[in-house]
């Protein structure tokens, strides 16, 4: 019986040591998780700042590109307007020249018919 009691006491002592080690390990694990949460919070904060900075830079770049595109569109629009104006005036002058030629031909025919 004494042998059993000693064996049980030894087992209880070993289990107590194992529980104490487990408690220490759990405390260390809890501390490590808390430290990891703090580091993750800092990392997320840094990431948010970096993303905000990148977003700001991207907006500046997009605004500059937008302005360049607007200037290019205005330039092309001005060139197209000049081209259309040039072609319009050419067509108008061709029309007026043709009209003048037809009128002069009619005047000549009128003079030839009624002058005789």
Average pLDDT over every residue of 41-53: 92
Residues 52-102: tens digit of each pLDDT: 999 999 999 999 999 999 999 999 999 999 999 999 999 999 999 999 999
- Look up residue 116 and give its DSSP letter: -
Q: What is the pLDDT of residue 81?
A: 96
Q: What is the pLDDT of residue 116?
A: 67
Radius of gyration in angstroms for the set of CA atoms belonging to the chain, rounded to a whole number: 48
Q: What is the pLDDT of residue 70?
A: 96
Residues of the chain with pLDDT > 90: what percent? 77
**For all residues of the chain together, what is the average pLDDT?**
92
CA dihedral of residues 44, 47, 52, 53 (deg, nearest 10):
150
User: Phi then psi for 40, rounded to 5 degrees?
Assistant: -65, -40
Instruction: Give the CA distances from residue 31 to residues 38, 43, 57, 102, 103, in Å, rounded to whole numbers and listed in that order.
Output: 11, 18, 39, 103, 105
The C-alpha atoms of residue 27 and residue 30 are separated, in whole angstroms, by: 5
Placement of tokens 């500059």 in the chain: 64
User: Phi then psi for 10, rounded to 5 degrees?
Assistant: -65, -40
Helix (H) and strand (E) counts for the chain? 1, 0
């Amino acid at each position: 019986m004494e042998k059993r009691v000693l064996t049980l006491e030894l087992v209880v002592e070993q289990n107590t040591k194992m529980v104490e080690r487990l408690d220490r390990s759990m405390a260390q694990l809890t501390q490590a998780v808390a430290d990891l949460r703090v580091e993750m919070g800092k990392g997320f904060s840094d990431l948010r700042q970096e993303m905000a900075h990148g977003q700001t830079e991207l907006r500046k770049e997009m605004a500059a590109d937008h302005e360049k595109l607007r200037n290019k569109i205005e330039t092309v629009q001005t060139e197209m307007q000049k081209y259309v104006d040039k072609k319009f005036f050419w067509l108008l002058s061709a029309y007026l020249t043709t009209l003048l030629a037809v009128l002069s031909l009619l005047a000549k025919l009128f003079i030839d018919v009624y002058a005789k």
